[in-house]
Structure 1
Amino acid sequence: MEENEDSVQEKHFRIEMQVSNEVMGRKNIVKKSWDESKKMWEIAAPAMMTAVTQFSIGFVTSAYVGHLGEVELAAVSVVQNVIEGFVYGVMVRMGSALETLCGQAVGAGQLNMLGIYMQRSWIITGVTALVLTPFYVFASPLLQLLHQDKDISKLAGKYSIWVIPQLFAYAINFPLQKFLQAQSRVWVMTIISIIALGFHVLLNWVLVTKLDRGLLGAAIAGNISWWLVVLGQIIYVVSGYFSEAWTGFSWSALKSLAGFLKLSLASAVMLCLELWYFTAVILMVGWLDNPEIAVDAVSICMNLQLWTLMIALGFNAAISVRVSNELGAGNPKAAKFSMVVTVLTATAIGVVFTTLILVTKNDFPKAFTRKPVVMKEASKLGYFLAATIFLNSIQPVLHGVAVGAGWQFLVAFINIGCYYIIGLPIGAVLGYKLKLGVKGIWTGMLAGYLLQIVTLIFILLRTSWHKEAVKAEEHIKTWGGSDEPQQSSSENNMNG
């Protein structure tokens, strides 16, 4: 009898211990999720604000130009989505080699290499800007070669020449941003961007509205605003706040340029294939009947889609920094956990934006145009815009993981297959062959986008994060860091 009572007591004890362990396990997961979420938001929140404010420089330009006329809005939209979309993609990803290298160097405590990496990147992006300048100079004949409307192409050609100074601002800006993001020093960058945006609004009001300088005034306002962003960040970096990471210009920046260029090109190709996908859609729409109305309607939706994408790029920056830092510090489980937390958070916010677009689909075009026919066409695309925004909440996070781990080549091949072999041909068939117009072209774009997301998720589920941490250690040694780490990523997590 006593033995039975002891057995029952032992059974109850085991059950209580099991329940207690489960409760403790859930509490630990909640605490870990909360801690990781805080680390993620410390980077993501200011990165979002920076991305939104810098993108809003073009957004404000479109809003002012939209009230000049349909052809003016179409011309600026074509420049922003085709010429600048092409160039912006090259420049931002040429600078994004730093996301992998600087992030992993910070995780391993190799702060002394960050300034060298940034200078190497400046050399590469500066030369790249010179190479890309002809795209601005010969924008008009290039657009006509792509069968864009003649009047739109001629006006776009003038505007693109006027905004060449912005190209060289990009060359300096993007390496600076990656240098700051890798060290979680993003709040000052955000403040600088907000001040520049406010000044940009004022400049447009003065030059475009009051002085009636038209597209030239809009171009001058954009040039000044972008160079304010760049100069503000340079002053911050050289003012003594980065005693280890920035020690001045060095001849060491000229070493290993060939290898650095290879990684930069891989990074550029990865995002360029992404941005050119949207560029191809704009061009395909330009080949439809009544291109002014079609391009204006799609451009309005693309502007909103890109604005919400800037929010997602905050998560992209955060997860890239978190993954690269943790892999560099040899913490593969932390890198994987960070990915899960960020994907879930970004998806939840994507649902909110998707709902807002659906609720306001008859109203959002009014921010860009007063033309009823353009507003009507843009409103018809509301459901397609909502679907794109939802997918955009997930995809940049997956790209951020890829950059943090150094998978640029792999993602470039995935982009080619999903976008150009599948997405665009589907859009062409639906848009032209089946006469579905803009909706058919956009459906093809969504198909390629969805396939890419599914492919990346499949790869991430099969990834060995321990092997990725070993590769990160090899990257650090290859690119000039010392063999022994100086301090962990948590010690290097500096907030500014």
Structure 2
Amino acid sequence: MDNGMHEKLLSSEEKAVGHLKERVYDESKKIWRVALPGIIARVASFGTIIVTQSFIGHISSIDLAGYALVQTLTVRFANGVLIGMSSATETLCGQAYGARQNHMMGIYLQRSWIVDFLTLTLLLPLFIFGTPLFKLLGEEEGIATSAGYISWWFIPMIYNFVFTLTMQMFLQAQSKNSIVAWISIVQLIIHVPLSWLFVHYFHWGVDGAMGALVISSWFVAFAEIIYIFGGWCPQTWTGFSTAAFKDILPVIKLSISSGIMVCLELWYNSILVLLAGYMRNAEVAISAFSICLNINGWEFMICLGFLGAACVRIANELGRGDAKATKFSIKVLITTSVVIGVFFTIVCLVFGNRIGYLFTNDVEVADTVSDLSLLLAISVLLNSIYPVLSGVAVGAGMQGTVAIINLCCFYLIGIPIGALLGYVANLEVKGIWIGMNIGIFTQSVALSYMKASERLQRYYLKSSDEPNNINNNNNNNGHA
């Protein structure tokens, strides 16, 4: 009797384990189907920025600091505005696609081009007057002069954002984001040899590195335009229309509100780089901090893919009214992201002493990067947690709460602590980064508490296996 019971228990446990493995596999397939194209596109696209920084870093440490200032301050500022405003395109196109008003998607795309083009043109003085702007902010004269020159090169590059960001949202709303991933891969493949050709073969220096960046960036824009105009989106792109100029004010309002939310997070690192520019050895501080931030940012592109997957999966399961499936999806998302984060954390710890030499020949800068490698590893680990938690909250429709949490944790906690540790405690760049990590850690704790608390429970509808929920699910299906 005991043996029979024991065998039955083992059999039921094996079935449970097998069922769990099957559920994890199925959920993982759903997650990666959404996350993988976004990860590939972001990693490849951001990779061109990293490659350009590496080539410039081996030309001159002053130019490396100048590039770092422009890329992390003015370019990220403009990019943050345009990403936020382009997210309005995603909202409008998604609604139109869901309502089967496919013809409106092309009109929304054209409206977003108009709004984004005008917005970027208004931001041009930041790039035209780069040198006096950075001098006004108190940066060293040599760094400010180099940054001002590189700012001019970024002008033709940033205008591709007007088209690429909006077209990617347009294609994503139709579940055609795989084409964006393929185009981004080709962009990176083109960019590396082109940079080598211009910098090392033709000896064009900074001009060659920036010229390669401009060409590879516009390759993406032209490739996406050819895809959309060439007949691969027949239902959603029906040609140019004067309707794009009508009712443009609501688009502007939605774009501005979306832009503000996104910019709060993207500008966080920019302010920290600006603080690094006031250190004793500003050239080394800016260069080393920027190198670490860009490595961190490159890995963060993977995490953003999981953020998008979290938004989609949580919204889907909540829409179906299945609380257990929602919670299970959250567990798989966080576990997958953390495993990847731990892997890259180990890579940063193992190769921390050598990472700096990929970007510069300056021993002092490379040594500073090495000193920051532990903090970089911590940042990479935190990256694997809080984007997924943000995606969960956004998927549950709590964008406003997330925006408030970001504002408090980043700007009221992270930046002040970083400034105190950097300047008052004389920890310099390390102090700034510790403050940044404290801000991110606080945000992760706040988002975890929100997910676990009753505040999120109201978004969790009754599980489909509960008797009372059978009728609810039927009603939901009927409304769908």
Normalised to the residue count of structure 1, the TM-score between the two structures is 0.84
CA separation of 1:68/1:337 partners in 2, compared to 1, >3 Å: closer, same or farther?
same
Letter matched to residue 194 of structure 1: I
Equivalent residue number for residue 39 of structure 2 = 48
CA separation of 1:142/1:64 partners in 2, compared to 1, >3 Å: closer, same or farther?
same
Which whole-Å CA distance do the structure 2 matches of 1:30 and 1:375 have between them?
45
Shift of 1:269: 2.0
* Gap regions ≥5 residues in structure 1: 1-7, 470-483, 489-496
Of 353, 375, 396, which residue of structure 2 is paired with 1:384?
Answer: 375
Letter matched to residue 365 of structure 1: G
Shift of 1:387: 0.5
Equivalent residue number for residue 93 of structure 1 = 84
What SS class does the counterpart of residue 362 from structure 1 fall into? coil
Equivalent residue number for residue 70 of structure 1 = 61
Which whole-Å CA distance do the structure 1 matches of 2:258 and 2:16 have between them?
39
Letter matched to residue 284 of structure 2: I
Equivalent residue number for residue 217 of structure 1 = 208
Shift of 1:25: 5.8
* Gap regions ≥5 residues in structure 2: 462-475
What SS class does the counterpart of residue 240 from structure 1 fall into? helix
Alignment of 1:22-421 (within 5 A): 27-103=18-94, 113-251=104-242, 253-254=244-245, 257-324=248-315, 337-421=328-412
CA separation of 1:404/1:90 partners in 2, compared to 1, >3 Å: closer, same or farther?
farther
Q: Which moved more, 1:95-104 or 1:267-276?
A: 95-104
Letter matched to residue 426 of structure 2: K
Shift of 1:82: 1.0
What SS class does the counterpart of residue 385 from structure 2 fall into? helix
Normalised to the residue count of structure 2, the TM-score between the two structures is 0.87
- Greater length-normalized contact order (CA 8 Å, ≥ 6 residues apart): 1
Shift of 1:157: 0.7
Letter matched to residue 59 of structure 2: L
Shift of 1:235: 1.4
What SS class does the counterpart of residue 175 from structure 2 fall into? coil
Which whole-Å CA distance do the structure 2 matches of 1:390 and 1:52 have between them?
17
Letter matched to residue 245 of structure 1: T
Shift of 1:382: 0.7
Which whole-Å CA distance do the structure 1 matches of 2:455 and 2:254 have between them?
21
Shift of 1:214: 2.0
Of 417, 429, 432, which residue of structure 2 is paired with 1:441?
Answer: 432
Aligned residues: percent identity?
Answer: 42
Letter matched to residue 117 of structure 2: G
CA separation of 1:388/1:99 partners in 2, compared to 1, >3 Å: closer, same or farther?
farther
CA contact (8 A) 1:108 1:486 kept: no
- The RMSD of aligned alpha carbons is 3.1
Q: Which moved more, 1:67-76 or 1:136-145?
A: 136-145
Which whole-Å CA distance do the structure 1 matches of 2:236 and 2:352 have between them?
47
CA separation of 1:394/1:245 partners in 2, compared to 1, >3 Å: closer, same or farther?
farther
What SS class does the counterpart of residue 95 from structure 1 fall into? helix
Letter matched to residue 80 of structure 1: Q
Which whole-Å CA distance do the structure 1 matches of 2:160 and 2:137 have between them?
27
What SS class does the counterpart of residue 96 from structure 1 fall into? helix
2:419 counterpart of 1:431: no
Q: Aligned pair count?
A: 464
